[in-house]
Amino acid sequence: MLLAADIGNTNITLGLYDDEALLFTARLATNLNQTSDQYAVEIKNILLLHGCRHESIEDAIICSVVPNVGKAVSNAISTLCNIVPLELGPGVKTGLNIKIDNPAQLGADLAAAAAGALHEYTMPCIVIDMGTATTVSVLDKNGALLGGAIAAGVNLTLKALTQNTSQLPAIRIEAPQKVIGTNTADCMRSGLIFGAAAMLDGFIDRIEAELGENATVVATGGLSREIIKHCEHNIIYNENLLLDGLRLIYNKNN
């Protein structure tokens, strides 16, 4: 079995594969202060929770945007399963033709999601990942990764609003009944949900204009399922796009 780990700024997402079948996914909090031994205990417990023993893990692949946590999780898996995980980074074959200015700067998470999209969808393709940051990656008609855009994520925007204003409260992130809010909480929800949806629609319009053709649009991560409901464009939701990309990249390197 293959253990795939996507380490983001807020959460760590684990996926266990038996060949191509995804058996389960689970989430841990990304904790900069946690040791590899603590992560090993958490991973072992999660495996047991889903009826799997750590001895059945034959290999692992890790994608991390938090280097220290990536190292801790890699060491945890090594200790727990007696294997050396493949860490996605420069030198690892992804199957992507990367055309950004400096390919070494491409985030591991963006590479994994793009690899998953290249395998699954018709090109050209726009890949949206809504996590701590909202990232947009663009694959052209030949599947080459051209680049994209990065914006603050919805939760990060809410945090900035509540921490940097004296009268805006913490709220649940959910769509209000209408765009024109009639109380503070609904006004904030409108800005967060409908503002994010309008931003995505705007990105798609401008990217398709630059490409000169329509593109497949796929979204993953965080709040994307809620946000894309309010977009005017047809956007496919794929919760496990990044994990599937990691599995594909692992197969290319083994």
**Residues forming the active site:** 109
Alpha-carbon distances, residue 157 vs 42, 102, 110, 174, 195 (angstroms):
30, 28, 21, 14, 11
Residues 6+ positions from 213 with CB-CB distance below 8 Å: 124, 141
φ, ψ at 205 (rounded to 5°): -60, -45
Q: What are phi and psi of 16, to 5 degrees?
A: -110, 125
Sheet containing 21-29, strands listed edge to edge, beginning at the edge strand earlier in sequence:
21-29, 11-18, 2-7, 59-64, 86-87
Alpha-carbon gap, residue 181 to 185, rounded angstroms: 8
Q: Are 66 and 28 in contact (CB under 8 A)?
A: no
What are phi and psi for residue 137, nearest 5 degrees?
-115, 145
Distance in angstroms (rounded) separating the CA atoms of residues 67 and 214:
36
